[in-house]
Amino acid sequence: MTGIIKGGFFALSIALVASPTICLADPIDPAAATAEPPVGEPAIAVTQVDPAPAPREWTPLKFSNFGKEFTERWIPVPNGTSGAPRQGWLATADGFFTREFHLAYDYTDSRGPDAHEVLVRFNYPLSRRFWAGLEVPFYQRLTNGRDNFGDITLSTLVMLAETRNLSINTGVGWRLPTGSVLLGNNRFSPTPQVNVFTDVGHGFSLRGRVGYQFADRGDADAVVVNATIGQTVTPHSKTPFGDLTWYVAANWSQPVTRNAPSFVSITPGLRTHLGGNLFLLGGITFPVTPYRDSFRERFIVQIVQGF
């Protein structure tokens, strides 16, 4: 999406499973298995079926066995020891993997025409080590009447290491030139990044990102940094206020050339579990940089369905 990637939360990013069928056999009587069948009746072969293996439990991922889990099915990570869940927040980097579908709307009160945007996002872990997310801003409209499709963002991440309280991944967010130039789109801009999540106790977690955004069409490259703190205060089952979480996200984009303005913003937000792994998120982004270089505020509402 146009404004969110440039401001550090103009991007936010969409996420398929299968499970084996278990076949059980009735207990076998050894005497019946060796007895001769009655005359005139065909013999029936009886086969002992081995018990199905128990579902595999989550185990930490280490640097030392980095390549081993690239083909292993993703296993959801338990909450941190203090109860902090690995759940995405608005304008925040994810150092962990999620399997979710997002539908989001944001309204930007800007210097010129105000802007509306609707996007979908699909996040899917292809294995314990590899994850992909697709963000599609399918509707963007300015209050002066212009509307169009936005730039799609494809994110690919590799999990470097993961314990119950810490996740570190790295990868690239690929902004693809699929939108209209009139709305500031049609740009190709890869952003290599390192993301981190950590449970720091009492339901608090810290998230962050350091990345480098390669610009397009004469714009300046930029170093992008995210730092977020939040606390989950209710258990998952307390719907419609389950996993109730408050957080504050800070984003900074610093161009590498001196003549380009930097951008800093703060986004306070909330997340709650409504039930059935359906979540509702809301937040407001306030730029710290001068209004002439950005916008007044941005209001964001998002629905997330985990699966």
DSSP secondary structure code for residue 128 in this structure: S
Query: What is the predicted pLDDT for the residue at 67?
Result: 79
Query: What is the predicted pLDDT for the residue at 25?
Result: 36
Q: Say how far apart CA 123 and CA 197 lie, in whole Å.
A: 17
Q: Say how far apart CA 244 and CA 99 lie, in whole Å.
A: 19
Cis-peptide, bond into residue 240, ω within 30° of zero: yes
Q: Say how far apart CA 156 and CA 232 lie, in whole Å.
A: 27
Residues 6+ apart with CB under 8 A from 219: 187, 260
Query: What is the predicted pLDDT for the residue at 45?
Result: 43
Mean pLDDT in runs of 10 for the chain (307 residues)? 37 34 37 42 45 71 85 95 97 97 97 94 97 98 91 98 97 96 92 98 98 90 98 98 98 91 96 98 95 86 97
For the entire predicted model, the pTM comes to: 0.80
Query: What is the predicted pLDDT for the residue at 278?
Result: 98
Query: What is the predicted pLDDT for the residue at 51?
Result: 52
Query: What is the predicted pLDDT for the residue at 54?
Result: 53
pLDDT tens digits for range 205-243: 999 999 999 998 778 999 999 999 999 999 999 999 999
